[in-house]
């Protein structure tokens, strides 16, 4: 049977390589729709969790994993030879940066090499990992064609960027429009048909490069606008203007303005990283991305500014950071997620410790964290307050923090998220 027909009748067997924040929701969505899905991951603990019907990603309900596994629609393996049995393969592995801020494609390369080893005619291969324009046709295609099979003729190849927003209950895998760009028309059509089985709106584009660039435009747009609003926050502080009130009022304009909010710095696996994939590739073409570098510079300076505010807060009570007890609220990179990757709270923690502070933290999403080899454990608010905290820093405004109790305790507070919107008092220091 042709792949198109297999997709239409949900008989296509789908392999998802990388069962993380992107791959697992996708695998579950395909399985729930009736496809037979095999998840491939090198992390045995994830493979075991899935096969035991358990979810380890906040946005994926354990019940959905359990039902899909029990129905025989979802299983996981670390045996890459099973890729040969798949009709469509979706690659969702990490794309971090090296220390030099150059792209680290090693995970993609390993995954593609595994596909190459088991590629068979008629398969559809889709790359979802965020990457620089040109990756699909310069890295993935030549590797797969080493088999002697030709892309677009013997197998199909496409890029489709993932737009999942962890912690966002309004926009989910099914409802977020999906951009798809194939290396030829047949590849675009097949990839669009596959995603069209689980996603409401498909946006086909003319090439893999356009699809790759779309994702980088989206994330660069966020990084640059967050950089802009962080700079406005820094300048408003100098001018003694409440930047939060300014943004709130500006956001009443019904056209031509979109609110972005300042904060302690960028975090997560996307916004602090992806724009540098673009600037790296642009440099190869003799082009300097000034906006990206400037935004990176401003956003990267925010943790130091937060620590400066902590110093000012303590100074108002004739105290120093050195020797003070400082309690950080929220260490995950954003509200109500358990992801700490690139979290600015880690930089803030480090800067405070280096200045001699005694640091504790609360975060129900991150029960413990490792810092410089030592393990720190999350403390609840009453325990922290009983420890006579000198200053509290709200880094990530998770739901469920008892801000009333914190304010009533009279503790100095540095609020980097406007979590205490409308609350006034000499003990509250905003960005
Ligand atoms: N997390 C997000 O919000 C988000 C949103 C959009 C796009 N993305 C992009 O999607 C991609 C994946 O991100 P993520 O957040 O899901 O990462 P993740 O770290 O949560 O998951 C990646 C998974 O891939 C596995 N893996 C690594 N190498 C492998 C290999 N060779 N074979 C099989 N499995 C392998 C890892 O064990 C891990 O389970 C990245 O390119 C990222 O930039 C992420």
Q: Considering only CA atoms, which of 152, 147, 120 is closest in space to residue 136?
A: 152
Alpha carbon nearest to ligand 1 atom 15, residue = 21
Report the atom number in ligand 1 closest to the C-alpha of 131.
41
**For the stretch 224-258, what's the b/e string if a residue is b when 16 or more beta carbons lie within 10 angstroms of its beta carbon?**
bebbbbbbbbbebbeeeeebbeebeeeeeeeeeee
CA 358 to ligand 1 center in whole angstroms: 35
Cβ burial, residue 109 (10 Å; 0-12/13-18/19+): middle
Task: Give the per-residue pLDDT at 182.
Answer: 98
Euclidean distance between CA atoms 406 and 298, whole angstroms: 30
Task: Tell me the catalytic residues.
Answer: 270
Q: Could you tell me if the CB of 166 is within 6 A of ligand 1?
A: yes
Would you state the structure tokens that stand for residue 71, as one six-digit string? 């129905």
Residue with tokens 């992107």: 22
**For the stretch 133-171, what's the b/e string if a residue is b when 16 or more beta carbons lie within 10 angstroms of its beta carbon?**
bebbbebbbebbbebebebeebbbbbbbbbbbebbeeee
Task: Give the per-residue pLDDT at 190.
Answer: 98
Backbone angles phi, psi at 138, to 5 degrees: -95, -25
Q: Could you tell me if the CB of 97 is within 6 A of ligand 1?
A: no
Task: Give the per-residue pLDDT at 192.
Answer: 98
Alpha carbon nearest to ligand 1 atom 26, residue = 18
Task: Give the per-residue pLDDT at 121.
Answer: 97
Residues in the chain predicted with pLDDT less than 70, given as ranges, are 1
Euclidean distance between CA atoms 202 and 189, whole angstroms: 10
**Which residues are CB-contacts of 170 (< 8 A; sequence separation ≥ 6)?**
none
CB atoms within 10 A of CB 308: 15
CA 92 to ligand 1 center in whole angstroms: 5
Report the atom number in ligand 1 closest to the C-alpha of 22.
16
Q: Are 15 and 82 in contact (CB under 8 A)?
A: yes
Strands 36-40 and 74-77, how do they pair?
Answer: parallel
């Amino acid at each position: 049977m042709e792949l198109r027909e297999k997709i239409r009748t949900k008989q296509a067997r789908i392999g998802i390589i990388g069962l993380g924040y992107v791959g697992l929701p996708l695998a579950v969505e395909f399985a729930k729709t009736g496809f037979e899905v095999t998840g491939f991951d090198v992390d045995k603990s994830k493979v075991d969790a899935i096969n035991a019907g358990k979810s380890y990603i906040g946005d994926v309900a354990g019940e959905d994993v359990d039902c899909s596994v029990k129905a025989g629609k979802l299983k996981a393996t670390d045996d890459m030879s099973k890729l040969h049995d798949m009709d469509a393969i979706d690659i969702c592995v990490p794309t971090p940066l090296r220390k030099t801020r150059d792209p680290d494609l090693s995970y993609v390369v390993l995954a593609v090499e595994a596909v190459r080893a088991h590629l068979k005619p008629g398969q559809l291969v889709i790359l979802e990992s965020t990457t620089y324009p040109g990756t699909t046709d310069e890295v993935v295609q030549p590797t797969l064609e080493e088999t002697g099979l030709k892309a677009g003729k013997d197998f199909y190849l496409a890029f489709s960027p993932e737009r999942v927003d962890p912690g966002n209950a309004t926009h989910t895998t099914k409802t977020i429009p999906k951009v798809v760009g194939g290396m030829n028309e047949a590849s675009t059509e097949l990839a669009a048909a596959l995603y069209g089985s689980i996603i409401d709106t498909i946006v086909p584009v003319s090439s893999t490069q356009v699809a790759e660039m779309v994702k980088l435009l989206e994330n660069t747009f966020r990084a640059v606008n967050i950089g802009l609003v962080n700079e406005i926050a820094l300048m408003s502080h100098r001018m003694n203007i409440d930047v939060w009130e300014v943004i709130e009022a500006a956001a009443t304009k019904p056209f031509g303005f979109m609110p972005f909010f300042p904060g302690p710095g960028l975090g997560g696996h996307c916004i602090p990283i992806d724009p540098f994939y673009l600037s790296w590739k642009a440099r190869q073409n003799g082009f300097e991305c000034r906006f990206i570098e400037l935004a990176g510079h401003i956003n990267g300076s925010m943790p130091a500014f937060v620590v400066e505010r902590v110093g000012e807060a303590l100074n108002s009570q004739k105290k120093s950071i050195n020797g003070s007890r400082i309690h950080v609220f929220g260490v995950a990179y954003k509200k109500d997620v358990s992801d700490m990757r690139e979290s600015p709270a880690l930089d803030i923690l480090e800067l405070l410790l280096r200045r001699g502070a005694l640091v504790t933290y609360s975060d129900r999403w991150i029960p413990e964290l490792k810092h410089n080899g030592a393990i720190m454990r999350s403390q609840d608010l009453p325990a922290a307050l009983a420890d006579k905290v000198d200053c509290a820093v709200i880094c990530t405004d998770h739901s469920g923090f008892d801000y009333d109790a914190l304010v009533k305790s009279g503790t100095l507070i540095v609020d980097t998220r406007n979590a205490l919107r409308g609350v006034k008092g000499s003990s509250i220091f905003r960005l």
